[in-house]
Structure 1
Amino acid sequence: MENTVFDLTLPVAIGSDHAGFEYKEAVISYLESKGVAVKDYGTYAKDSVDYPDYAHPVSTAVETGQAAFGILICGSANGVAITANKHQGIRAAICWGEELSRLARSHNNANVLCIPARFVDMPMANQMVEVFINTPFEGGRHQDRVRKMACL
Structure 2
Amino acid sequence: MFCTFATCYSTSDEVRVSCLALTFYLLIMDLLKYVQDKYITKKEFPEFKAGDTITVYYEIKEGQKTRTQFFKGTVIQLRGTGSTKTFTIRKMSGDVGVERVFPINMPALQKIEVDRRGKVRRSRIYYFRDLRGKKARIKDAAYKKK
Q: TM-score range, shorter-chain basis?
A: under 0.3
Per chain length, whose mean CA-contact separation is higher, i.e. which structure has more relative contact order (CA < 8 Å, sep 6+)? 1
Q: TM-score, normalised by structure 2?
A: 0.21
Which structure carries more helix by proportion? 1
Question: Greater Rg, structure 1 or structure 2?
Answer: 2
Which structure carries more strand by proportion? 2
